[in-house]
Structure 1
Amino acid sequence: MTGKLILIGCGPGAGDLLTLRAVRRIQCADVILYDRLVGEDWREFASSDAIIKYVGKAPGDGGVQQAALNAEIAAHVAAGRTVARLKSGDPMIFGRAAEEISAVLALEAEIEIVPGVTSALAAASDSIITVTERAELQSFVVTTGRTAKADEQPDWAKIVKPGVCAAFYMGVAQAWKIQSTLMAAGVPFNAPCDWVERAGQPGMRHVSTTLSRLAHDTHANQVSNPAILLVRYPYSLAKAVSAERAIAAADSA
Structure 2
Amino acid sequence: METLVAVVVVAFLLFTINHSHCFNHHRRSQLQRNSLCAELIQPSGYPCTEHTVETKDGYLLGLQRVSSSHGGGDKNAKPTGPPVLLQHGLFMAGDAWFLNSNEQSLGFILADHGFDVWVGNVRGTHWSHGHTTLSVRDKDFWDWSWQELALYDLAEMINFVYSTTNSKIFFVGHSQGTIMALAAFTQPEIVDMVEAAALLCPISYLGHISSQFVLRLVGMHLDQMLIAMGIHQLNFRRSDYYFIFFGSSG
The bucket for the TM-score relative to the shorter chain is: 0.3 to 0.5
Structure number with the higher helix fraction is 2
Q: Report the TM-score, using the length of structure 1 for normalisation.
A: 0.32
Q: Report the TM-score, using the length of structure 2 for normalisation.
A: 0.33
Structure number with the higher strand fraction is 1
Larger Cα Rg: Structure 1 or Structure 2? 1
